[in-house]
Amino acid sequence: MNDGYAELEFDLPSALLRDIVALLDGMNAAELTSANLTRVTDAPGVYALISGATGELLYIGKAESSKGLLNRLTRHMRKLDGRQNINPGDIHFKAVRIFVFAAMDLEAALIAHYGGDGKLPWNHSGFGSNDPGQQRDTTTYKQDHFDTQHPIRLDDCFVEFKVGKRPVAEVMQHLKDGLPYLLRFQRPNASSRNSFEPDFEVNEVDIQRPDLTTREVLRLCIAALPPGWHATALPSHVICYKDDDRRFPSGTLIARS
């Protein structure tokens, strides 16, 4: 060291990772519920999903400023609520807000620290993906994919309806807005997210009770439409199209008009 001058090379990424790991390992997990998420801010950070029954670490994720911790965890909570072979109440979380993100991939560093993807069953299994995209409709889902192991639930009531006759367009949109998984139905064109096919607007569904299951609502809607429409369940979402001759290797037909 010379008088008046010194150099310091500080390993910020390693120090940040060490502090985050110590914080995650030292904190208690909370059940992934709406009540517990009221304490989480929609800010950047990292989080972990854990099995409450076994303590197994299932997933490591990060949240950035555009979609913060609250957004990400709420989306995961909703997704799990609509899946088979899993008890949503068994999933717990730990979340750490990070005020300044370093120029490093914290998610990758944490995954590596906790043993890599092989020790985190939901990382790189498709769990964290958003809209599966139309290319997923006609592909075969792999056996180790999250959606194959935990397909969507069709025989539950996720959305309540008012009793009476409603246009198919209104019923389908209400169902789409309320489901914890994607319902994709045909629109007049790709950019018309707020418009409906004429068949949806001129035909009505008679809702006779408010607690219809997803499968029951879809069957009623398809039955009210002219020939050519189908509703098909994929492991991750539901599609509804007209004059669609594609093959869906992982799909199960719900109804056809």
Q: How far apart are CA 115 and CA 145, in angstroms?
A: 19
Predicted confidence at residue 14, as pLDDT, reads: 84
Predicted confidence at residue 126, as pLDDT, reads: 87
Predicted confidence at residue 117, as pLDDT, reads: 66
> What mean pLDDT do residues 108-114 have?
92
> What mean pLDDT do residues 73-87 have?
95
Please, which pLDDT band fits residue 93 given cuts at 50, 70 and 90? very high
Q: Does the pLDDT value for residue 13 go beyond 90?
A: no
Q: What is the pLDDT of residues 44-69, one digit of tens each?
A: 999 999 999 999 999 999 998 778 99
Q: Which two tokens stand for residue 45?
A: 């950070």
Predicted confidence at residue 146, as pLDDT, reads: 94
Q: How far apart are CA 147 and CA 144, in angstroms?
A: 9
Predicted confidence at residue 3, as pLDDT, reads: 80
Please, which pLDDT band fits residue 248 given cuts at 50, 70 and 90? very high
> What mean pLDDT do residues 161-165 have?
95
Predicted confidence at residue 218, as pLDDT, reads: 98
Q: How far apart are CA 92 and CA 108, in angstroms?
A: 21
Query: Regarding predicted confidence, which is higher, 4 or 133?
Result: 4
What is the set of domains in the chain, with CATH numbers? 12-119 (3.40.1440), 134-256 (3.55.50)
**Which segments of the chain are extended strands (E)?**
30-31, 45-51, 57-63, 91-97, 164-167, 182-185, 204-207, 229-233, 237-242, 252-256
Please, which pLDDT band fits residue 104 given cuts at 50, 70 and 90? low
* In contact, 82 and 158? CB cutoff 8 Å: yes
> What mean pLDDT do residues 196-214 have?
95
Predicted confidence at residue 191, as pLDDT, reads: 63
Closest CA to 47 of 72, 19, 22, 66: 72
Predicted confidence at residue 5, as pLDDT, reads: 81
Give the SS3 label for residue 36: helix
* Residue percentage of the chain with pLDDT more than 90: 72
pTM of the model: 0.87
Please, which pLDDT band fits residue 40 given cuts at 50, 70 and 90? very high
> For the chain, how big is the Rg over CA atoms in Å?
23
Phi then psi for residue 22, to 5 deg, are -60, -40
Please, which pLDDT band fits residue 8 given cuts at 50, 70 and 90? confident
Burial 72-87 (b: 16+ CB within 10 A, else e): bbeebbebbbbbeeee
